[in-house]
Amino acid sequence: MALNWWSPGRVLTVEQKQSYDEQGFIVIKGIVPKDQLQRYGNRFREICERKDVPPTMTVMKDVSIAKSEFVGGEQAITKVQDFMDDEVLFDYCRLPQIVAVVEDLIGASSIVAMHTMLINKPPDSGTLTSRHPMHQDLHYFPFRPADYICCAWTAMERVNRANGCLVVVPKTHKDPGRLLVHEYPKWEGGVNKAYHGIQDYDASMPRLHVEMEAGDTVFFHPLLIHGSGANRTDGFRKAISCHYANGTMCDYIDVSGTSQDIIADEIKQIAKRKYGEDVEVNFDDIWRVRARPVRGHRANL
C-alpha cells in the first residue's frame, strides 16, 4: 500500500499532506483540549507520588537531578516512558483527532502505539543537561519501513526557545544516507540515559525552532533530524508524545551489525536490570512488550 500525497486525507488537506512529505513534519494547532492536558498532568503528578505506577513504566530523572538528595516529587521526575499500561495517559494515544492525522500520514489499515513518553524538561542546572542532542528517532527502532512510522508530540503548555522547544532540520528525512550514526555526545555536564546524538552532526544545517501553545501537536517522520535546547526558565516544560507505526506495513528487522547495535545493547541491558539479569531478551521482544494497538489488529508488530 503506497502512501498517496496527492489526494486529501480523512482530516488533512492535500497541501498539509504534501508539506509533511516534503518537510518531514507538520504542526496542527489546538488539537488536544486543555482539559485533557490537565488530566494527563494530574496523572503525572500521581506517578511522581508513586501512586499506581504500572510495573512496565519507566520513571526517569535528569542526570543532574539524579545526583541530588534534595529534589523530590514532581520536580525530581523528568520523564515517564512506556505508559502503554496506564489507562489515563494511554488515552492520549487513542484520541480520535490524533489518530485521524496519523492515519492520513502512515495509512489506516492498522495503527499501533510503539513508544510513549511524557516529558517534564527541568530548568537547566547550568550544566546544559536539559537539552537533547540532535538525533533521528529511527535510531531506536528495530522496525521498518520508516515512512510508515510517525510521532505525535503535543505541548502541554507554552513551548518556546526559552524553555527548550523542539528544534528540527526540515527535509532531512529525505537526505541520502538516511539513518546516521549516533553515539553519546561528549558533554561536560553529563548526558541523560539513552540520549544519543548524531555522531557527525553538521551544525550549519538550517534549523527551525518549533514554538507551540498548549494543545498544539507536531507530527514528524522518524528520520527527521531534531532535538531540543536547554530549559533556561525557572519552570518545567511538559509535553506528551507517542510514536505510531502502521502495524500491517511495518515489521521487525535484524539490526545486528548495523549502527543500531549500540542502542540495542544498551536497551537490552536496561531491560535486564528492570526484569532480572537471568532474563534473556532480544531487541524485538522489548518493542513487542511496548507496543499496543489503537486501531485494527496488531498484525506484524
Cα 100 from chain centroid?
18
For the chain, domains (ranges, CATH) are 14-280 (2.60.120.620)
| The pLDDT of residue 70 is above 60 | no
**Which position has the higher pLDDT, 20 or 280?**
20
Neighbouring residues of 34: CB distance < 8 A, sequence distance ≥ 6: 214, 215
Check residue 24 and give its pLDDT. 97
Report residue 186's pLDDT band, with 50, 70 and 90 as the boundaries. confident
Average pLDDT over the chain, rounded to whole?
91
Q: How do beta strands 225-228 and 25-28 pair? A: unpaired
Q: Is the pTM of this model over 0.75?
A: yes
Cell numbers that stand for 84 in this block: 502503554
**Which position has the higher pLDDT, 41 or 75?**
41
For the ranges 44-48, 65-69, 166-170, the lowest mean pLDDT is seen at 65-69
Report residue 280's pLDDT band, with 50, 70 and 90 as the boundaries. confident
Closest CA to 78 of 242, 196, 184, 193: 193
Span 78-99, pLDDT tens digits:
999 999 999 999 999 999 999 9
For the ranges 126-130, 148-152, 170-174, 213-217, the lowest mean pLDDT is seen at 126-130
